[in-house]
A and B are shown apart, each in its own frame.
Chain A
Amino acid sequence: MRARAAVKRLSHVIAVLSIVTFMTMLMLDLAPGDPARVAAGDTATPEQLAAAREQLNLDKPVIVRWLLWVGDLLRGDLGTSLRTRQDVSDVLIERIPVTAEIAVLALVMALVIAIPVGTWSAYRKGRAFDKVSQAVGSVLISAPSFLVALVLSYGLALQLGWLPIVGWAGFAEDPVGNLRTATLAVLSLALCEAAVFVRLLRSDMITVLGQEYVLAATAKGLSPYRVLVKHALRPSSFSLLTLAGISLGRLIGGTVTIEVIFSIPGIGQLIYQSIMNKDVITVQGAVAFIAIAYIIINATVDLMYTWLDPRIKVGGKR
């Protein structure tokens, strides 16, 4: 049974990867602009263009090009950027840690904010704390993250001067500078994610707090803290876990606006620039990475369900 589940899962993964990368290639092929011109340069002669086209296999149908790309991928070769001539894998390895750091920090911070706030809001439903957190949450949910980013950078960087406005320092060279440059981006992303998390956790927690076993735990004379944390939190966390997984996938995929606003050299910025430049090969590599990241995150989330609720068995239903 285990092996069958694993095979099923693997075939699922392969199908998702194939569809996503093929669709990316197809969409970029349909978009206006000529990758051959990007590769050969603006001043290329028709002969040079034709040569570039042949070298890039642009004369072949999309499906063939995709199969060739998959073949290279299986050999560990993601190709070279049409514009910079860098290996796409090198570019990705340079960019991924930046985005991953921001994504993970933002997710952790969002959870650190959302779990206590959501729990307490549910416990004190309709009281002052709940009302304030709901109101703040509504603002953060309706405001796009770039707006939050602009407000934060105005306040914390421009007015107070605590943080640099833009830029990025690598962790290896300058750990403190790295955290300082990451803070604004992390905070802007975390606040918006946290607002949604709070709302979700609060409503699930309110349902759980109405359950008989919570009353039974209360009737043992446990403190409210223990009832909330040890009895109510875990059963209230299913939707939160699902959403946190989706959020992490989205954040790992790079948040284009935030990376552009704060000039952070991450995946989001890379994809944005590559699409602008018709750098098909780079986009393709980045998309493959994002798809793989999503798949890994989803598998992790599935495993965590079984930890949250012992009634769920791996590969089975409740």
Chain B
Amino acid sequence: MSLPTKTKTQSPPAGPAADSDAPLLAIEDLRTWFDTPQGIVHAVDGVDLTLERGKTLALVGESGSGKSVLGRSVMGILGSHALTPTGSVRIDGRELRGKSRKELRGLWGPVVSMVFQDPLTSLNPVRRLDVQLTEGMAVHLPLSKADRLARAVDLLRRVGIPEPERRLRMYPHELSGGMRQRVGIAIALACKPRLLIADEPTTALDVTIQRQILDLLAELQDLGGMGMILITHNLGVAAGRSDDIAVMYAGQIIEKGPTKNVFKHTRHPYTSALLGSLPRLEDPPHSTLAAPPGRPPVVVDPPRRCRFAERCSHAQARCLSEAPTLDQDTSAGTSVACFFPVGTGRGTDALKRNQEAGRTAAGLAVERSVA
């Protein structure tokens, strides 16, 4: 009884469609809409993604871009105001869409599991840690109570919590924020999931703790061959911790590919703007960070146009009348949904035209080029 190791990889739970050739996670045309007083919000609107075993996919975007909803749609833990998602989510080749709540419950823990953003709110304040750690095992693993407790101690030790036996008798408020997030990770790993969805696992923590938690996740993942979706708004986090990256905007993936390619050959003006908003050591003190102006739109009744056009310095008339699709860009080795990508002739021309005009086709003011 130990955590998953490379030699003792957990075999996929038996199921009619379990397929070892299929990728760990395959999402096709996933749409999650919410019925709100403002109308139908297209929080996730036609997403395709795949993730291989043991790999990490970073899902990046601003707040409100739909990343968390996408993560929750994969698990199927959406609130009651969510309309039934359409499209396909397959884990190890098994379709999750259309499964009953009861069937899904059997998968939550051993197949797919989640680390929540805020460890201060995602642990129950009135229950001791032993209960919170072992209750999932009681549902999914054939372990006696003593074995479950022993595994809980083992898990706490793995996530770097000193004196695990003593901590088990504690309540969450008796631990620091970083410790609580370690407990959150231990809970998510309790039933040896095949896929871990880490929803901004470090956003609520201070920087030194962030690093420890991310290192811990990477280490645990290496041990178990577990796939991970790392949801983050921090491109710096994504850069060092992922094999692939998918940039999300207004419910859609607008750029994706191997992490190094996306960083080296950034094509989408949005990704480029996000990168521009990262502070660099070379920058002189007090330089203004180039954040993309405005905020991601809440997508109600989406028009047929590029959703980023209003905030994009490359926007042309075409962007306002036609929606770009996510197409392969062989020169960059990535996929991008843009008519005028950064680093291409078309994109450079578009930006130049807008700079000469002083504004984009969508009316956004652009600084006139000095050169």
Question: Interface on A for B, CB 8 Å cutoff?
Answer: 125, 211-223, 226, 230-231, 234-235, 308-311
State which size class the interface on B falls in. 20 to 34
Known contacts A211-B121, A309-B126, A311-B171; decide if A219 and B139 are in contact (CB<8 Å): no
- Write the chain B residue with the least CB distance to A127: B80
Complex-state Cα separation, A234 to B128, whole angstroms: 13
Do residues A213 and B123 form an inter-chain contact, with CB atoms below 8 A?
yes
Inside 8 A of B118's CB, which chain A residues have their CB? Answer: 212
Complex-state Cα separation, A231 to B127, whole angstroms: 8
A sample of 27 cross-chain residue pairs with beta-carbon separation below 8 angstroms, ordered by A number, consists of A125-B80, A212-B117, A213-B124, A215-B77, A216-B122, A216-B184, A217-B124, A217-B135, A218-B108, A219-B75, A219-B114, A220-B109, A220-B187, A221-B108, A221-B191, A222-B135, A222-B139, A226-B135, A234-B126, A235-B124, A235-B125, A308-B126, A309-B125, A309-B126, A310-B125, A310-B173, A311-B173
11 additional A-B residue pairs with CB within 8 Å, beyond A215-B116, A223-B139: A214-B124, A216-B114, A216-B122, A216-B123, A216-B184, A219-B114, A220-B135, A220-B136, A220-B190, A235-B124, A311-B171
Complex-state Cα separation, A215 to B236, whole angstroms: 29
**Which of B105, B116, B131 interacts with A223 by CB under 8 Å?**
B105
Inside 8 A of B108's CB, which chain A residues have their CB? Answer: 218-221
B162 contacts the other chain (Cβ, under 8 Å)?
no
Query: How far, in Å, is A101 (CB) from chain B's closest CB?
Result: 32
Question: Interface on B for A, CB 8 Å cutoff?
Answer: 75, 77, 80, 105-110, 113-114, 116-118, 121-127, 131, 135-136, 139-140, 171, 173, 184, 187, 190-191
Known contacts A213-B123, A216-B122, A230-B127; decide if A221 and B106 are in contact (CB<8 Å): yes
- Write the chain B residue with the least CB distance to A126: B80
Most B Cβ at <10 Å: residue of A125, A217, A220, A223: A220
Known contacts A218-B77, A220-B187, A222-B136; decide if A212 and B116 are in contact (CB<8 Å): yes
Complex-state Cα separation, A231 to B135, whole angstroms: 11
Query: How far, in Å, is B238 (CB) from chain A's closest CB?
Result: 23
Complex-state Cα separation, A122 to B102, whole angstroms: 20
Inside 8 A of B131's CB, which chain A residues have their CB? Answer: 230
Complex-state Cα separation, A215 to B78, whole angstroms: 9
Complex-state Cα separation, A231 to B128, whole angstroms: 11
Query: How far, in Å, is A219 (CB) from chain B's closest CB?
Result: 5
Complex-state Cα separation, A217 to B116, whole angstroms: 11
Complex-state Cα separation, A215 to B171, whole angstroms: 18
Do residues A213 and B136 form an inter-chain contact, with CB atoms below 8 A?
no
Do residues B122 and A213 form an inter-chain contact, with CB atoms below 8 A?
yes
Query: How far, in Å, is B129 (CB) from chain A's closest CB?
Result: 12
Complex-state Cα separation, A125 to B81, whole angstroms: 12
